[in-house]
């Protein structure tokens, strides 16, 4: 009978690793399956003898971190989590023994120049940049002769999820993301992390850089069993912006669901559908779900996932508790942002500096970190942060709700213009995140300026290709139809190909049109209760305040973009 190897790694969380190792030993003994076991940890490790590795037919890699898989060459490899082994060791053994196909010959791949790459792409809203980055990487890998598999982490979850076998056989893991990505699967692999923008702009250059500079992701004691591995230096470059965008990406579904449910409540039961006298009606029920359910979770979700981006899973509980306190203290989204950063950095600091005996280390993620980080975050929110931030938010909310005339015009110009400057980049996302967060405080005018300003660039360019066909190449004219669809769906990135081809002329035209749309929207009193959807939210009752004004602003902005682009662009060669 073929001998099986099993390597179990649990970092300093060795209690679970020891239990998993013993479960495998007993399960193999019951079926008379020869097995050689190795426990990887800071103490008590028992390396596999060379003769066991030489005579084995397969290896089972359990847990995360550096499992020393380079020793096993072309041996068939299977992977499992420690929890899987503890739940059903027999099933894990069956899976390991079924892996009879030899592992890829990495040496042959290196000689031929071909590399196996697995990648993850993700952006805060999980729509355009996520998939544009994936397409950029796939096209670049194909041109360079490399094999690639890309997992997209979009607004509806992960698609084309990477399998354990694909990760195990990959030469590098390439992460192109503007949000935090759970990297616990990649322990022991060479990882390179960057932004979606890098993948969209220069996929070939990015892959070359990643192959040269990727570093092995080591197991982190605090994260090995309880969350994602620590971010690499390339990820940390984005700093606070990336943490904020991670929080925003998890917050958006609550904003969308809550806003639409409140709009539907008004549509079904009238403008006073949520008044106490209407209890028991469908309109009242929908309003409760939207306002008391989804909207009540906006700030906790924002704070919790900012903290998660900083400290991984140990940050979620203190972050969400801090966010709930911010909501209760009337500190709103500003308080939630503060709570998220306080909780994240507190949990991260405690995780790095609290050291326990390895037999007690399992208490840290379930007892010590949640208790201490939540206590510190809560006390700071109550006694230090909450009251002044609430005062600032109240002043900001009052000013925004009282906007009219020149102030509304200027704010609309700024927000609309920001949406077109980098079309999905940091400036665009800063305007979008601010407007989306304001919805939780009942301020829904900025969101109208942002959405209309974001729809204008692709719509304006689509119109320009029809009005001035001689100034656009044949591929650009063909792309005009797709840009119109993207613009209607509020996907500003539809304008990127045009801007990339002629940035000095196209970007000013985009900014002019978007600023016009945003200024008109706020001047005409347009409001928007949901943070996405484009034209498709117009038919929803009460989702858009003053829909006629919204259409006028969009038409005006689109026309300005088209006319300015037609005036500035030279005749196509």
Positions marked catalytic: 123
DSSP 521: H
Under 8 Å between Cβ of 48 and 63? no
Under 8 Å between Cβ of 304 and 326? no
DSSP 227: S
CA separation for the pair 203, 201 (Å, rounded): 6
- Residue 54 CB contacts under 8 Å (≥ 6 apart), including other chains: none
Straight-line distance from the first to the last Cα atom of the chain, in angstroms, rounded to the nearest whole number: 72
Q: Which helix (H) or strand (E) holds 118?
A: strand 116-122
Under 8 Å between Cβ of 182 and 175? no
Q: How many CB atoms lie within 10 A of CB 103?
A: 18
Burial label for 278, CB within 10 Å (0-12, 13-18, 19+), is: middle
Under 8 Å between Cβ of 27 and 87? no
- Reading the block at residue 546, the tokens are 């003053």
CA separation for the pair 469, 44 (Å, rounded): 73
SS3 state at 442 = coil
- Residue 351 CB contacts under 8 Å (≥ 6 apart), including other chains: 222, 311, 314, 364, 369
CA separation for the pair 415, 432 (Å, rounded): 8
CA separation for the pair 324, 303 (Å, rounded): 9
> Apex CA 407: angle with CA 404 and CA 410, to 5°?
125
CA separation for the pair 519, 570 (Å, rounded): 29
- Reading the block at residue 47, the tokens are 């390396």
> Which residues lie across from 36 on neighbouring strands?
5
């Amino acid at each position: 009978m073929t001998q099986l190897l099993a390597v179990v790694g649990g970092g300093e969380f060795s209690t679970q690793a020891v239990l998993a190792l013993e479960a495998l030993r007993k399960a193999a003994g019951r079926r008379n399956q020869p097995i050689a076991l190795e426990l990887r940890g800071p103490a008590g490790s028992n390396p596999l003898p060379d003769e066991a590795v030489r005579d084995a037919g397969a290896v089972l890699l359990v847990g995360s971190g550096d499992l020393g898989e380079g020793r096993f060459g072309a041996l068939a490899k299977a992977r499992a989590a420690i929890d899987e082994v503890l739940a059903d060791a027999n099933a894990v053994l069956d899976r390991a023994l079924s892996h009879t196909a030899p592992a890829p010959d990495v040496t042959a791949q290196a000689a031929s120049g071909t590399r196996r790459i697995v990648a993850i792409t993700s952006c805060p809203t999980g729509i355009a940049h996520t998939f544009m980055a994936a397409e950029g990487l796939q096209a670049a890998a194909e041109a360079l002769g490399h094999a690639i598999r890309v997992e997209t982490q979009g607004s509806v979850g992960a698609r084309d999820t990477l399998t354990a076998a694909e990760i195990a056989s990959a030469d590098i893991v390439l992460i192109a993301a503007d949000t935090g990505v759970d990297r616990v699967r990649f322990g022991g692999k060479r990882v390179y992390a960057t932004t979606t923008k890098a993948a969209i702009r220069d996929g070939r250059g990015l892959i070359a850089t990643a192959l040269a500079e990727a570093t092995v992701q080591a197991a982190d004691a605090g994260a090995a069993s309880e969350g994602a591995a620590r971010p690499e230096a390339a990820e940390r470059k984005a700093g606070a912006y990336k943490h904020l965008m991670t929080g925003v990406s998890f917050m958006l579904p609550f904003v969308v669901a809550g806003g639409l449910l409140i709009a539907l409540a008004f549509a079904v039961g009238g403008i006073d559908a949520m008044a106490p006298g209407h209890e028991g009606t469908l309109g009242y029920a929908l309003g409760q779900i939207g306002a008391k359910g989804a909207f009540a979770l906006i700030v906790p979700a924002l704070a919790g996932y900012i903290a998660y981006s900083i400290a991984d899973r140990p940050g979620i509980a203190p972050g969400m508790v801090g966010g709930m306190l911010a909501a209760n203290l009337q500190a709103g989204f500003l308080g939630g942002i503060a709570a998220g950063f306080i909780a994240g950095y507190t949990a991260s600091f405690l995780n790095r500096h609290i050291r326990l005996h390895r037999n007690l280390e399992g208490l840290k993620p379930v007892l010590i970190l949640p208790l201490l980080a939540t206590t510190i975050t809560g006390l700071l929110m109550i006694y230090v942060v909450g009251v002044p931030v609430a005062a600032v938010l109240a002043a900001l909310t009052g000013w925004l709700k009282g906007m009219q005339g020149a102030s509304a015009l200027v704010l609309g110009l700024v927000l609309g213009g920001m949406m077109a400057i980098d079309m999905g980049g940091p400036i665009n996302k800063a305007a979008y995140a601010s407007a989306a967060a304001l919805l939780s405080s009942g301020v829904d005018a900025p969101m109208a300026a942002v959405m209309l300003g974001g729809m204008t660039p692709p719509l304006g360019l689509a119109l320009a290709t029809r009005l001035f066909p001689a100034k656009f190449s044949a591929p650009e004219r063909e792309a005009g139809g797709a840009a119109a669809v993207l613009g209607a769906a509020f996907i500003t990135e539809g304008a990127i190909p045009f801007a990339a081809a002629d940035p000095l002329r196209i970007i000013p035209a985009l900014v002019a049109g978007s600023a016009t749309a945003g200024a008109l929207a706020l001047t005409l009193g347009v409001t928007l209760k949901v943070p996405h959807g484009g034209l498709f939210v117009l038919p929803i009752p009460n989702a858009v305040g003053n829909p006629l004004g919204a259409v006028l602003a969009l038409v005006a902005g689109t026309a300005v973009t088209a006319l300015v682009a037609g005036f500035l662009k030279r005749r196509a060669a």
